[in-house]
Amino acid sequence: MLQLEHLTAGYGKTRIVDDIDLEIPAGEVVALLGRNGMGKTTLLRSMFGLCDVFSGSLTIDRSPLPLGRPEGLARHGLSFMPDDRGVFPNLTVEENLRLARRRSYTPPVDIYDVFPLLAERSRQLAGQFSGGQKQQLGLARAMLAGERLIVVDEFSQGLQPSVAKEALEALRTIAATGVSVLIVEQGPQLPLAYADRILGMVKGRLVFDEPVPKLRADPEPLTNLLVVA
């Protein structure tokens, strides 16, 4: 169980996300949704030290984790794919994947089966990839490194629908072995099909946290969240 408590974070002196409490049990796939500029990216970035954290704590199975310290979180098996994908442009695909692998952990999916493109282009420099190709490499890296938690910003950015579905099925297979998964996604379709829970964010606060079956039966909270007033 991953627990984030009383997280307040932003940039400089500006608070963007305010007093967020969030729990993700092992094995759950959780999607964070909200309109542009509501603070989704900032919430994720704050966990991994890419913006300023004013207060908060992070624990996994009640053991404290170094909130905002990316190397420390990586050592505990927490991985993050930021919205710029975080790949090393001057390294090949193979080298990017090798650096992400953990010595003691092999995910329950074959990365090259999930993303055949990465096998075909294993010797190519990541910097020569298109945005959608980098997205596949970034997701693969997050899957290899996330032994306990995988966090992905802008999950389906640049992906063909068939590749996005394949990647989400892989994330579900990984989650089933006890990994927690948190993704940010623009639209509700993929979360409604693949996630266990959906969180709604408005102006830096979580305004709902609902199981997907409930939202499938009554999508009104999602509609209200995503419609521009």
Residues that bind ligand ATP (CB under 6 A): 11, 16, 34, 36-42
What whole-number distance in Å separates Cα of residue 223 and Cα of residue 218? 10
Least CB distance to ligand ATP at residue 200 (A): 11
Q: Hey, what are 120's tokens?
A: 């075909």
> SS3 of 124, please?
coil
What whole-number distance in Å separates Cα of residue 105 and Cα of residue 46? 26
What whole-number distance in Å separates Cα of residue 46 and Cα of residue 56? 10
Least CB distance to ligand ATP at residue 184 (A): 7
Quick one: 38 or 117, whose CB is closer to ligand ATP?
38
Quick one: 46 or 96, whose CB is closer to ligand ATP?
46
Least CB distance to ligand ATP at residue 103 (A): 33
Least CB distance to ligand ATP at residue 70 (A): 17
Quick one: 34 or 107, whose CB is closer to ligand ATP?
34
**Helix locations, 82-186, DSSP H:** 93-100, 111-114, 116-120, 131-145, 161-175
The residues, any chain, with a CB within 8 Å of residue 172's CB and separated by 6 or more, are 29, 194
Quick one: 40 or 148, whose CB is closer to ligand ATP?
40
